[in-house]
Amino acid sequence: MKWKYFLIPVFIFLSCERTNDSEEILKYYGDAKEDIGFSVAIADDGYFICGQITEITRSPENRITKTVRKIGLIKTGFDGNTIWQKTFGDTLVGSGSKVKILDDGSVICAGQVTVSSTTLEDIIVVKINSDGTGIHENIFKTSGNQSSTDILQTSNGFLLLGTTDVARTPITDSTGNKAGKKDILIIKLDQNLNQIGTIPGKGFPNDDYGAAIIPDGENGFVIAGTTDRSEEAGQGSSNILLLRVNAFGSDIGKQIIGTTAGEYVSDIEPVDDGYLVAGTINRETSNQTIFLTKVPKDISQVPVFTKTMGDTKMWSVNAMNRYKNNYYVLAGKKGYGSSSDMLVCAIDEEGNLVEGKEKSAETDGTQVFNDVVSDPSGDIIAVGKNTYETNSMITLFKFRF
């Protein structure tokens, strides 16, 4: 069968307001099959995109003979043009989840790879210099499946957030983890990516998922995620889970918040007097909406507010980042299933949509933003994927409202 060239769909970006003449940049990265951008970070000389890159092998007749999905990292200039691109994990199938710029200008990327002999997923962490040299990677193997969602630099190394399906005992109504169910995983790493000690999994007997982790400003950390546990009347089968841990990974606070509609957490950001949590209610249905919950610094206290937005537009959110001084930018999509458009919008600290700060794309197929960052000058950089027929490419979109 002859290989069909990938067709790039035409994007029509819609903005409610235009406040400057900054040039918009829209770039695609990848080849045939499936390429996805999951995370983006701003460096001194450009951007880093972490995600899934499909390595393609072709015959002399330009037919695809082999494809391998790999954890990949792309460095671009501020113009979005590729400076270098690398994949990791040797021959293992994998994908990248999160990329961060370190204090010395180097880069760390966390993801997961699948060991072909066992079909189990293991976490991989890669550290690399900004120029693409000095690659150091480590794969953390266990008896079950592990995947990564976030990573932080700490004073003595790194703190990685992920999931594991390894059983944890004792299993009671509110403790432990059943084998095959998701448990929140925290791994401490030293500067050389070696694991420091072992922190027990966190959560309840069924599925618990950690979406993001941030410092709490008091030598500890706050994890925001999703749990299928409900502890109060009116909570459904998917609720907001907040965990606060100290520097040693020990629990020092928790809270479960939710309604019967079902909340799925995407991200968390600090505000002056607490934390702002973003996610989606009724995810992947015709009733999906974005929710924003503000909780005090003492996360065990009652939330300050919970608001929804995009009620009639089927909005969902995958990432949140501070924008300018008093705002936050959200990235996700409008629509669900096989037809959706990329979405970026801005909110204030009270969870209100900022008038005129909404941007979306109307196209055929499926498009989504998975991560977003903003620089001091007001540039917004979002990454994700666009899917056309059976192929997808990594998308980078840079703009200003």
What average pLDDT score do residues 108-114 get?
Answer: 97
pTM confidence score: 0.93
Q: Is it the case that residue 6 has pLDDT exceeding 60?
A: no
Please report the pLDDT score of residue 383 as a whole number: 98
Per-residue model confidence as pLDDT tens digits over 207-254: 999 999 999 999 999 999 999 999 999 999 999 999 999 999 999 999
- CB count within 10 Å of CB 13 equals 16
Q: How far is residue 147 from each of residues 72, 283, 324, measured CA to CA in Å? A: 15, 21, 32
Q: Tell me the two tokens of residue 27.
A: 């770039």
* Identity of residue 261: A
What average pLDDT score do residues 3-22 get?
Answer: 46
* Half-sphere exposure (Cβ direction) of 101: Cα atoms closer than 13 Å: 16
> Which residue, among 250, 313, 251, 302, has the nearest Cα to 280 in the 3D structure?
313
Per-residue model confidence as pLDDT tens digits over 313-353: 899 999 999 999 889 999 999 998 777 899 999 999 999 99
Q: What CATH number was assigned to the domain covering residues 27-206?
A: 2.120.10.10
Q: Domain limits of the chain? A: 27-206
> Which residue, among 143, 108, 144, 105, has the nearest Cα to 124 in the 3D structure?
108
What is the percent of the chain where pLDDT is above 70?
93
Q: Would you call 121 exposed, middle or buried from its count of C-beta atoms within 10 A (0-12, 13-18, 19+)?
A: buried
| Phi-psi label, residue 260: left if phi above 0, alpha if psi -120 to 50, beta otherwise | alpha
Q: Is it the case that residue 110 has pLDDT exceeding 70?
A: yes
